[in-house]
Amino acid sequence: MRSTHEVISAFLDDDTFDPQELTNALSDPAGRALLIDLMALRRIVQPRAAAPTLDLVKPARPVWPLLAAAAAVVVALASGYLVGQRRSVPLLSDAPPATKVVQAVPFVPAGGMR
Amino acid sequence: MADPAWLFAAHHQGLFKYFCRAVGRAEAARDLTQEVFLRVSRTQIPPMVNGDATAWLFRIARNLAVDYHRSRSRRPEHVGPVEEVMQSASQDVDVAVNQALASLPALDRDVFLMREVVGLGYQEIAVACDLTPDGVRSRIHRTRLQLREQLAAPISTSRTTAMSRSGKTTTRIEP
């Protein structure tokens, strides 16, 4: 046989209890007051602060794909540069011979110089 | 087998609520909630069923709360007089609840919080706190009665507020 307090506690916690014992406990004004107080206690102990959001802990993304991509870009740039160096046509230092020679004559107006 | 992301989604709210009352500060509760999952992500999660995973997480949480109180007792923080004075009625209730919880033995407080704030079952609490289910039951019962005494005023106010919110009034008819 459990006490009034124990039966009401069991009722609150979804624990097993004898329905007749609960009836007896709640027929007593003190038992009813206890039930109401314990429900009020449960209410006031609930914290009011907002819980953290789900993005607090993000699954860590592996770093190696980023490193591999960066390395591939560097290798591509370096090999492109080297290939370009080897295939480039050397610059000609001498100009080709002239095919037409133009003589420059000073301009004199029709009335002569004043 | 449970993975850290699933555990976080399933339990972060409960852990945060537990820490809020166990340490009495929302900021610290957020940090400690993250710390639980950092620890989980760094360790190999043992194979277990769902209920055991909950108990396992709350065992980690309990250890963190104990460490927190230990480090705070070594360097207590000063609470300014202005912070103490400028409080609303609901903050007064919060402070009273936190003080009452802080006055309890750590194990009783944790068992009570895991039941009343988080809603864990006796078996899960027993695993998390290294107790038997009967031990959990008796501690919860004893702590409820103790807190009922200590928090009589806020409980009475809460009862009245609940009645007025529900719109129920009682009228006494005199003969």
pLDDT at B11 over 70: yes
- A44 vs B159: CB contact, 8 Å cut-off? no
Would you state the pLDDT for residue A85? 78
Asked if A54 has any chain B CB less than 8 Å from its own CB, the reply is yes
pLDDT at A33 over 60: yes
- B33 vs A42: CB contact, 8 Å cut-off? no
Instruction: State the average pLDDT over residues A5-30.
Output: 91
> Average pLDDT over chain A, rounded to whole?
82
State which residues form the domain around B17: 4-161
Residues above pLDDT 70, as percent of chain A: 80
Would you state the pLDDT for residue B85? 46
Asked if A62 has any chain B CB less than 8 Å from its own CB, the reply is no
pLDDT at B7 over 60: yes
What CATH number does the domain containing B40 carry? 1.20.140
pLDDT at B175 over 80: no
Question: Does B167 map to a domain?
Answer: no
Nearest C-alpha neighbor of B91 from the set A37, A90, A44, A30: A44
- Looking at chain A, which residue has its C-alpha nearest residue B140? A9
Would you state the pLDDT for residue A51? 67
Asked if A34 has any chain B CB less than 8 Å from its own CB, the reply is yes
Rounded Cα gap, residues A2 and A77, in angstroms = 82
Instruction: State the average pLDDT over residues A43-72.
Output: 75
> Average pLDDT over chain B, rounded to whole?
83
Rounded Cα gap, residues A8 and A22, in angstroms = 7
Would you state the pLDDT for residue B43? 82
Domains in chain B, number: 1
A42 Cα to chain B: minimum distance (Å): 6
Nearest C-alpha neighbor of A31 from the set A52, A9, A53, A1: A9
- B116 vs A42: CB contact, 8 Å cut-off? yes
Interface of B with A (CB under 8 A): 4-5, 8-9, 12-13, 16-17, 20-21, 26, 29-30, 33-34, 37-38, 41, 90, 93-94, 97, 101, 113, 115-117, 122, 137, 140-141, 144-145, 147-148, 151, 154-156, 158-159, 162
The DSSP string of A14-77 is T----HHHHHHHHHSHHHHHHHHHHHHHHHHTS--SPPPPGGGSPPPPPSHHHHHHHHHHHHHH
Question: Does B123 map to a domain?
Answer: yes
Confidence of residue B81 (pLDDT cuts 50, 70, 90): very low
Which of the residues B15, B23, B30, B116 would you substitute to probe the A interface, choosing the one with the greatest number of A C-beta atoms within 10 Å?
B116
Asked which of A86-95, B54-63, B111-120, B148-157 is least confident by mean pLDDT, the reply is A86-95
Asked if A44 has any chain B CB less than 8 Å from its own CB, the reply is yes
Contacts of B141 in chain A (CB under 8 A): 5-6, 9
CB count in 10 Å sphere of residue B91: 12
